[in-house]
Amino acid sequence: RRGALLGWVDASFRLRDLISGILAGNVNAVGVTLDLDIYDGTTVHPDSRMFDSNEGVDTSAARFQAVRSLTLYGRPWVVLVRSLPAFEAQLNQRAANMIALVGELGSLILAWALWLLLGSRRRVVELAREMTADLRQSEARQARLNRAL
């Protein structure tokens, strides 16, 4: 085997530069709103962390988190993305409250319209019964008058 060995190639890469290229130079912009961690292997463990966009930032209280497993060239990686306070601040709570309020008002208006329609139907049915009774009485009276002639 040693006789067949011609040499070896050692290629190293800087992961921060690689990730920066993948993110088209926006690794710092991503680092402001999201924490991107890449782990070698299948588990999230500090010893297997290869990349951390925010070294030393505590992200344990993140409201949002996504974990994805990748296999690149036969090597498993775990990508962990967590939200940072800057990302969470972008979520417009006022807009969410406004949407909920508009939804509630819409539901109330639809319920009121349904109540009006059902009430109108009841009144129309009652009016139809009264008119039918009046018509029958009128027909009976007309029939009596015709027989009297």
Q: Are residues 79 and 28 in the same domain?
A: yes
Residue ending a domain, choose from 89, 107, 140: 89
**If residue 103 lies in a helix (H) or strand (E), which one and from where to where?**
helix 93-148
pTM for this entry: 0.53
> Does 96 lie in the same domain as 40?
no
Q: Which residue would you say has higher pLDDT here, 7 or 11?
A: 7
Quick: pLDDT tens for 53-82.
877 788 878 889 999 999 988 889 999 999
- Summarised one tens digit per residue, pLDDT across range 87-116 is 888 777 778 888 999 999 999 999 999 988
Specify if 97 maps to a domain: yes
Q: What is the Cα–Cα distance from 35 to 65, expressed in whole angstroms?
A: 9
Residue 49 burial by Cβ neighbours in a 10 Å radius (0-12, 13-18, 19+): middle
- The whole domain housing 61 covers 15-89
* DSSP conformational letter for 23: T
**Is 2 inside a domain boundary?**
no
The structural domain count of the chain equals 2
pLDDT digits (tens, 9 = 90+) for 22-60: 776 565 566 678 888 999 999 999 898 888 887 778 887
Is 116 in the same domain as 85?
A: no
